Amino acid sequence: MNVQTQKVLSQFDFDVNDVQLEDSSERVSCRANSRRGQTDPTNRSYQPVESVRRALMVLRAFSSHRISTISSLYEETGIPKPTIVRMLETLMFEGYVVRDNMCGGYRMTAEIGRLNGGYRGISRVIEVARPWAIDLTQRLKWPIGLGAIDGDDISIQFCTGTISPMAYTNTTLGIRPDMLTTAMGRSYLAYCSEVDRERHIQNFYNDPDRKFGIVEERQLHMLLEKVRRNGYALRDPRTKPFRISTVGIPLIENGKVQALISLSFFSSAVLRKEVEETIIAPLLEARAKIEHALEFMNAGSGGEFGPQNGASIEMNF
């Protein structure tokens, strides 16, 4: 999580490194290499490798200038000049930096782009939503999933199955929820642009396995209208696993669906009349906080941000 995101979340009285369970005496505290819970960055498995930290400092300094000199790198990083020279020799050997005698310094090569050419990490919306997803699971015990828009699909980029005592599977990372039958997919279709919605509907028509026709399209539009009225979508109960119910809610930034958040629970474990209060209301509250955090980040340091403590959230069930 980057520094800007941490600062924003701290404005919401939300300590990302101290997420409380229902019992305030309990606390999730994991070493940096733990797979469970919220990693505590102050409880590292090992001390940082100083040479790696310095190399990253030099690369960041390079990225700010077309041409860098040993003196300019020293002034910006404070790293001793002999060390900078050795780092430059290594970077030149690997092909990331070349000496430019015409300009009297060093510059990065196109090879540096390969460092950003593969996995791009989770989206900013997922990064912002992650602490609230963890908090929801610790309070409600049910697993939370966060999915980001990836082309014409949704990709699960984060889940709390490893810290949920109620999870039916440890992880759903990488799964691409079906647009027509899952809570995330239905939520996205309800809140995406009309152009995107029509494109997906046309894809349903073109898929012979779906057997999607005029009647099914009419039913889908009625369903999506209901989703927009309620503010959430439910997974098709005719899809496996039958014993699981899932609620999906969009995360909207700048008027566009950027991600989805879902909560799955055993249908038999929650009374029907309690679903709105114990499942849906906390999800909608988390959505409001996440979207306010994103608004605050987009607005910079000024302006109002987030619902105040005790503020009510308008819900239309």
The pLDDT of residue 44 is 65
Both tokens assigned to 282: 């906390």
Residues 194 and 137 in one domain: yes
Q: Model confidence over 190-228: pLDDT tens digits?
A: 999 999 999 999 999 999 999 999 999 999 999 999 999
Beta bridge partners of 30: 39
Residues 111 and 212 in one domain: no
The pLDDT of residue 110 is 82
Q: Is residue 31 part of a domain?
A: no
User: What phi, psi does 98 have (nearest 5°)?
Assistant: -130, 155
Question: Residue 150 — very low, low, confident or very high, per pLDDT cuts 50/70/90?
Answer: confident
In this structure, of 94-98, 179-183, 266-270, 299-303, the range with the lowest mean pLDDT score is 299-303
Residues 189 and 261 in one domain: yes
What is the arithmetic mean of pLDDT over 53-66?
86
Q: Is residue 42 part of a domain?
A: no
CATH number of domain containing 201: 3.30.450.40
Residues 210 and 239 in one domain: yes
> Could you tell me the residue range of the domain that residue 142 belongs to?
124-299
What is the arithmetic mean of pLDDT over 186-190?
97
Spatial distance between the Cα atoms of 132 and 37, rounded to a whole number of angstroms: 13
Selected residue with higher pLDDT from 42 and 196: 196
Residues 236 and 194 in one domain: yes
Q: Is residue 198 part of a domain?
A: yes
What is the arithmetic mean of pLDDT over 136-145?
94
Asked if pLDDT for residue 37 goes beyond 80, the answer is: no
Residues 68 and 205 in one domain: no
Spatial distance between the Cα atoms of 293 and 251, rounded to a whole number of angstroms: 11
Question: Residue 104 — very low, low, confident or very high, per pLDDT cuts 50/70/90?
Answer: confident
Which of 95, 116, 137 is a domain's end point?
116
Phi-psi region of 269 (alpha: psi -120 to 50; beta: other; left: phi over 0): alpha
Q: What residues contact 231, with CB distance under 8 A and at least 6 apart?
A: 249, 284, 315, 316, 317
Selected residue with higher pLDDT from 222 and 111: 222
Q: Is residue 99 part of a domain?
A: yes
- Give the highest mean pLDDT range of 19-23, 123-127, 184-188, 239-243: 184-188
Selected residue with higher pLDDT from 16 and 105: 105
User: What phi, psi does 211 have (nearest 5°)?
Assistant: 55, 50
State how many domains the chain has: 2
Question: Residue 2 — very low, low, confident or very high, per pLDDT cuts 50/70/90?
Answer: low
The pLDDT of residue 4 is 57
Spatial distance between the Cα atoms of 114 and 3, rounded to a whole number of angstroms: 24
Question: Residue 17 — very low, low, confident or very high, per pLDDT cuts 50/70/90?
Answer: very low
Q: Model confidence over 77-95: pLDDT tens digits?
A: 999 999 999 999 999 999 9
Cβ proximity of 127 and 1 under 8 Å = yes
Among all chains, which residue has been given the structure tokens 């929820």? 177
Q: Model confidence over 153-170: pLDDT tens digits?
A: 998 988 898 888 888 776
Residues 220 and 131 in one domain: yes
Cβ proximity of 194 and 201 under 8 Å = no
Phi-psi region of 78 (alpha: psi -120 to 50; beta: other; left: phi over 0): left
Question: Residue 66 — very low, low, confident or very high, per pLDDT cuts 50/70/90?
Answer: confident
